[in-house]
Structures are given as C-alpha cells and as structure tokens.
Structure 1
Amino acid sequence: MHSSSFLRLALILGLLSAIGPFAIDMYLPALPAIGSSLAADVGAVQWTLTAFFLSLGAGQLLYGPISDMVGRKPPLYFGMVLFALASVGCALATDVQTLVVLRFLQGLGAAAGMAIPRAVVRDLHTGNEAARIMSLLMLVFSVSPILAPLVGSGVIALSGWRGVFWAVALASVAGLALVYGALKETRPPAQRLESSLGSALRSYGVLLRDGHFLGLVGIASTALAGFFVYLAGSPFVMINHYGLTPTQYSLAFSVNAAAFFGAAQCTALLGRRFGLVNVVKGAASASGVVMCLLLAYYLAGGDQLWVLIGLYFVASGFMGLVIPTTSVLALEKHGAIAGTASALMGTLQMLGGALAMAIVSLFANGEPLPMVVGMASGALVGVLLTWATLGGYAQGPSAAEAR
C-alpha cells in the first residue's frame, strides 16, 4: 500500500475512533461546572465518565462479531446514529442521573468507532505494517486529547457545558458522512460465510482460552486504566486543588496527550530495530519506574504541579509505545476473527478503565494522592503482566514480524 493510501486510511479510521473520546476530552474542563449546575458531588459527576466507559467496553462485544457477520460499515452506521441521538439527550439533561443514563447510551454508540477500525487494520495488514498504520491512526486519534479540551473550553465559555454535547452530535453526523462516502468495505461477503452468532460465541471461547492474547490485552488495559484514572481525577485536582483555569487545564492535559501520541509514531521504527515484543517490555517497565517515582514524591508530602505534569509526561510517552504495539501483537494470530478479537480487546480495556475509575472515585476528594495511587497501580500491574506474558520471548512471537 502506498504512503498516500496509508495516510488516507489512517485519517478515516482515526477520525472515526476519535469521535467517542472527543465526547470525553471535550467536556473534561466542564466537570466541576456540571457538578455545580446539576447539584452533584465529585463522585456522582465522575460516574458520567464511568458509565460512558462501561458501555464503550460492553458495546464492542456486540459490534465486533456483528461486523464479522455483516461487514464493517453497517454497524458503524448504527453506532454513529445512536451516538448523535444520545448526545442531543445529554445536552438537554436536567439531573445527573439522567445524564449518566444518556452517557451510557452515548458510549454504546461510540463503541462502534472503537472496535471496528482495529478490525479494518487487521483485515489489511499484519506485523510491522500493521504497527505502522496503527501508529498513524493514533496520530490522527491524538487530535482528540490534544485539541478537544481546548475546543471544549471555548465552547463552554460561549455556551456552557451543554454546548459540548451539541458539538459532538454534529461531529457524529460528520462521522456518518465519512463512513458513507470515504470508507471502503474490507470484509467482503465471501469472508462472512462462516460468521454467525454461534461462531462468534465459539470465537470468544477461543480468545478467552488464549493466555497470550489475554496477557497482551491485559498489558494495554492496565496502562489505559491508569490513564482513565487521570482523566477522571485531573480536572478536579488541577482546577480545584491547583487553581488552574479550564483553559490552563486543557493546555496541561494536552501536553501529556502529545507525549503519548508522539511516542506512538515510533512504534514501527523501533519494532523493526528491536522487535515489537522488546519494545513492549522496555516501554512498560520504564513507565512503571516513572510512576513509582511520582507516587513516592506524593507519599513523601510533595505537592508541586510541575512534578505531576513532568513525570506523567515521561510515563505517557512510554505508554504510547505500549498500547498500539500490544494491539498489533494480540490481533496478529486472529485475522479470521479480527472483529471479534478487536471487540474483546476493546471491551476488556474499557471495562478495566471503568473499574479503575469507579474504585478511585470512592476515595476521590479533589486531592492529588488518590489519583496518583490509582495511576501508579495500573502501571505496576502492567509491568507484572508484561514480564509474565512476554518474558520468554527474545524476539517477536509472530511469523510476520520475524520475516
């Protein structure tokens, strides 16, 4: 595939993948304002994030097998329509309980854009080529956490937090048009003949018995869990505790996101030089060390914002190497059921993140320490899973990578 084709596909898939996260990142600066507007405490407002991630994860279990059975595009149509309708409902919500329910439905729609693009990548590529396009996809995807908080701050300043949901509803309409006009079907009818509900259940059984697949998914899941804890806690910590304005918070958040997605662009290059497995082992271990330093600093009584931003910037860079690489390795042996495998991967990642946020929200008080404990815990579990899963591999486990 020529470079222009790589970039075009990455642009399309990245924008589709980013629509759901855009609905998260864009309204992060408004979380304190939502709490005030709806008379809800910190924990209740954080449940609007948790509910979104729960459905974002669970919904992928449906979209993946369905995309194997009917093709990649029809489930994307359904997901974008559901997302748009739920976004309008969120904009009109008058209490936090209703907002939580609508955020759940919104996440269910967004799940299509999370599961199916990874399956499309696997339909077309494996090995370092897949890592290359996955990293390009993440570069486009990076528009969300880098720009969305800034855009959200502007929208909030002009129209309040409800304006954010009107904006993402429009974004989903644009995504629907993109699927219709620019995305080609990569799962032709001939490849769907053996796909059915029964085969999907059997495929999930195969995947759940594959310890290597589950280990790779677990590595990415724990890295994302720490990031989701940061997503939920950082608005309250940085705005309420450290006194940043919503715009300043957006800039601080964007710095960490830039490190994550900037590093992700090096995955294919490093994979060719060292092997994808060695990239995961080195990056996951380094991220764990950095997060231990951050935790030790706060346990010792430190409370400087620049330390939080600086150390998490470094850790985010290492996580940017881990997540796309583990996704490629996990899907590589399951090309025939790529949609189902991608769905299970996304589900476990999102549910892990939602569980981490729910646990940390029980201890959330607007101070940095509970958030940092949750972030560091995810990184350390990830290190243990990395060496338990990949410790025996000197090179890559895949034939494609070996070639």
Structure 2
Amino acid sequence: MSRPVSLTLMSVILGLVAAVGPFAIDMYLPAMPEIGRDLGVDQQAVQWTIVGYFVTFGLAQLAYGPWADQAGRKPPLYAGLALFITGTVICALAPSIGWLIAGRMVQGLGGAANMMVLRAVIRDLATGPQATRMMSTIMIVIAVSPLLAPLSGAGLLALGDWRLIFLALLAAAVASFFLIHFALPETLTDANRQRFDLSGTLAGTRVLLADREFMVMTFLAGFAFASFFVFIASAAFVYRDQFGLTPTQFSFAFAVNAIGFFAASQFASPLSRRLGTLRMIAGATVGFALATFAGFGLALAGLASLPVTMSTLFIGNIFLGVILPTAQVQALEEHGEIAGLASSLGGTMQMVAAGVLVAAAGPFLDGTVTPMLAAIAACGLIALVLSRMIPRQAALA
C-alpha cells in the first residue's frame, strides 16, 4: 500500500475514533427537555450536563499529553475510552440530575484523550501539507457528527426514552476500542519517547508559552472554533423560533452551513502547498472576519432574513474550514519532540478560549438572529487580530 493511501486510511480511523466525543455532545440535545421532565429539574439544571462535559474535557488534556509522550499514544487512548465508557454507564443509569452531571463529567475526562492524542498521532506520521491533509480528512468525519448526531438522538427518542441515547454511545465507545486495538498502530517510537518529570514538563510548557507562533495559532484556532460553538448553541432557537422552521427543515438548514466547513477543509492542503501555510491562514482569516462582519451588519440593518443569514454563515464556514485544520497542525509543526504536551496544552487553551467567549455571549443569546451573528462576528474580529500577530517573515515564507 502506498504511503498516501495509508495516511488516508489512518485519517479515517482516527476520525471515527474522534467522532465519539462530538456524538456525546450533540446526540442527546434533542432529549434535553425530556431529561428535565423525567428527572424533575428545569432547563438550566440540564444545561449543566453540557458545561460539566466541556470543563473536564478541556482540563483533562493537560494530563493526557505528557502521558502520551512518555508511554506512547495507545495507553492514553485505552484509559480515555475506559473513563468514557464508565461515564456513559453512569449517565444511562442516572437516577437524578446530579448523577447525570457526574456521568457527563467522567465522559468528558475520557473523551479528551481521543481529541488530544489524535493530533499527536498526526504529528508522528506527517508534517506540513501532508499533516494538513490528514487533519482535513479527520475534520470531514468529525463534521458529519453535528449533522447525524441530533437526528440519531431524535430517532432513538422515537423508539424509547433518553437513556437509549447513552446506550448507543456506549456501543460506539466499545466499537472505538476495537478500532484502536486492531487498526491503529503505535506511532511513537521508543527512541522518541520522553521520560516524564515535572521539571521537564514545566520546561516544555515554558518553551511553548514563549513560542509566538504556537500561541497565535492555538488561540486563533480556539476563537475561530468558538464561532461554531455559538452557532450550535443558538441555531436551533433562531432557525425554529424566529424563522419558523420545523425540526426537519432546521436539520437541512444546519447541514447547509456545515457543508461549507468540511468541504472547504479538503482544499486546505493543496492551498497550503501553493500559497504557503501561514500566508494561507492569514488570508483565510481575513475572509472569515469579513463574512462574519457582513452577517452582523446586515442583521443590524434589519436585513438578516433566513437566506441572507444562511449565506453569510456558509461563506464564513468555508474560510473556517481552511483555518481550523491548518492552524491546529501549524501549532505543532516545530514541536515534534513534545507533540503530546503541545497538543494537550494547545487543546486546553483552545477549549478554554472558546468556552470563555461562549459563556460571555450566553446572557445575550436570546433566540434571535442579531445576538448570534454579533457573537460570531466577535470571534471573527478576535481571529483577525490574532492573524495580524503571525510573525511577518514566517508568513511571507
């Protein structure tokens, strides 16, 4: 088998393993009202099941990175899946909202391993445009999750109660275990393993925090990704309540915007070869910012109809599909010897940045289109400012 085909196959395997996490986020969203009624709590209490997942998901990456550099890539994946399976069982059997939140937090602790370790695996196998191509392929698999997961959850609700959703997630986690065990080789050689010690970890962390390119790329990806979080959190209310779409119509509208993202991600690798990676990121960020500004401006002018909103979001997601896989890969480009630590630290900072922005925007998201587009435009502005901080000589290279 040729190397390109092998890397493509590996990308698909990694994408399938990583997709368990996004499914855990999106699959049970249609069941949230039923969960509240069944457990006798209000909407705000149920929403803590999302907050708890993301908090532990972000923080746990700090532990998986050094472990992956010391012991190899597969042991943290096994441990993460064990935690995810444990959390899923707790969720499926939860007698109260407290137990459900606890189960979700354990899920987050486990789910972080997949997303963190896969970036280190990519760095083991490839660099530059090849690594971007791998990440883009993985993005296709992951990007399908927000389209299929809510529909799958709604279908399971038609067959039974909300606990069926967590049983389905349990089956997906078990399938991931078999993929990791039988289809994913260990990609970190013995010669490249790093002995873990606190002083070494702190030294590596200082190197990363002092690396301007690592920091810029990490936060650029984080705030760009935050725009997608804002959209997921708001779109159902805006599209259904303000624009009057049925659940099925909303699913198709949601799909149109997501298509722009994962279709464009496939052009990131050839564009990076032609234009240069850093120059491409800088240009795509300008396009992303302009699209988000246009959407917000039209909303302020009272012109943000459904077609206009979908069009500006679609264009913005095209540029987002170029930015995200490339910036994530570029952040690790010069840190192959500490790829696990760089991946975990970068992943945590990205999640924290996105979470802070979404939390800050939360009180203003009232189910109408203008606040949603304003928050997305804020993401575009921050990403644009960060793109101006890319080292000039490197960007022109």
TM range (shorter): over 0.9
Q: Does 2:36 correspond to 1:30?
A: no
* Separation (CA, whole Å) in 1 of partners of 2:34 and 2:306: 22
Paired letter, 2:181: Y
SS in structure 2 of the partner of residue 301 of structure 1: coil
What is the number of equivalent residue pairs in this alignment?
Answer: 396
Task: Specify the alignment match of 2:222 in structure 1.
Answer: 221
* Separation (CA, whole Å) in 2 of partners of 1:46 and 1:303: 28
Instruction: Decide whether aligned partners of structure 1 residues 99 and 301 sit closer, same or farther in structure 2, where only a CA change above 3 A counts.
Output: farther
Task: Specify the alignment match of 2:209 in structure 1.
Answer: 208
Q: Does 2:238 correspond to 1:237?
A: yes
Equivalent residues in 2 for 1:77-226 (5 A)? 77-226=78-227
SS in structure 1 of the partner of residue 365 of structure 2: coil
* Residue pair 1:32, 1:236 contacting (<8 A) in 2 also: no
TM-aligned CA deviation for residue 303 of structure 1: 5.1
TM-score of the two chains, using structure 1 as the length reference? 0.92
* Separation (CA, whole Å) in 2 of partners of 1:338 and 1:110: 19
* Residue pair 1:50, 1:357 contacting (<8 A) in 2 also: no
* Separation (CA, whole Å) in 1 of partners of 2:79 and 2:291: 41
TM-aligned CA deviation for residue 35 of structure 1: 4.7
Instruction: Decide whether aligned partners of structure 1 residues 227 and 217 sit closer, same or farther in structure 2, where only a CA change above 3 A counts.
Output: same
TM-aligned CA deviation for residue 44 of structure 1: 4.2
Task: Specify the alignment match of 1:329 in structure 2.
Answer: 330
* Residue pair 2:223, 2:382 contacting (<8 A) in 1 also: yes
Per-residue CA distance 1:122-147 (angstroms, 9 max, x = gap): 01211111112121222222331232
* Residue pair 2:69, 2:194 contacting (<8 A) in 1 also: no
Instruction: Decide whether aligned partners of structure 1 residues 308 and 45 sit closer, same or farther in structure 2, where only a CA change above 3 A counts.
Output: farther
Equivalent residues in 2 for 1:251-400 (5 A)? 251-302=252-303, 304-396=305-397
* Separation (CA, whole Å) in 1 of partners of 2:4 and 2:230: 36
Deviates more, 1:315-324 or 1:345-354: 345-354
Paired letter, 1:369: T
* Separation (CA, whole Å) in 1 of partners of 2:131 and 2:394: 20
TM-aligned CA deviation for residue 227 of structure 1: 0.9
Per-residue CA distance 1:31-63 (angstroms, 9 max, x = gap): 454455555555444433232222211111111
* Separation (CA, whole Å) in 1 of partners of 2:323 and 2:32: 29
* Separation (CA, whole Å) in 2 of partners of 1:252 and 1:164: 24
TM-score of the two chains, using structure 2 as the length reference? 0.93
Q: Which runs of 5+ in 1 are unaligned?
A: 397-403
Deviates more, 1:160-169 or 1:275-284: 160-169
* Separation (CA, whole Å) in 2 of partners of 1:36 and 1:248: 26
Between the aligned residues of both structures, percent identity stands at 43
Supply the RMSD in Å over aligned alpha carbons.
2.1
* Residue pair 1:277, 1:390 contacting (<8 A) in 2 also: no
* Separation (CA, whole Å) in 1 of partners of 2:32 and 2:301: 29
* Separation (CA, whole Å) in 2 of partners of 1:301 and 1:28: 30
TM-aligned CA deviation for residue 84 of structure 1: 1.5
* Separation (CA, whole Å) in 2 of partners of 1:97 and 1:244: 34
TM-aligned CA deviation for residue 392 of structure 1: 4.7
SS in structure 2 of the partner of residue 203 of structure 1: helix
* Separation (CA, whole Å) in 1 of partners of 2:48 and 2:233: 9
Instruction: Decide whether aligned partners of structure 1 residues 103 and 82 sit closer, same or farther in structure 2, where only a CA change above 3 A counts.
Output: same
Per-residue CA distance 1:325-352 (angstroms, 9 max, x = gap): 1112110100000011011111111112
Task: Specify the alignment match of 1:50 in structure 2.
Answer: 51
* Separation (CA, whole Å) in 2 of partners of 1:88 and 1:315: 38
* Residue pair 2:295, 2:304 contacting (<8 A) in 1 also: no
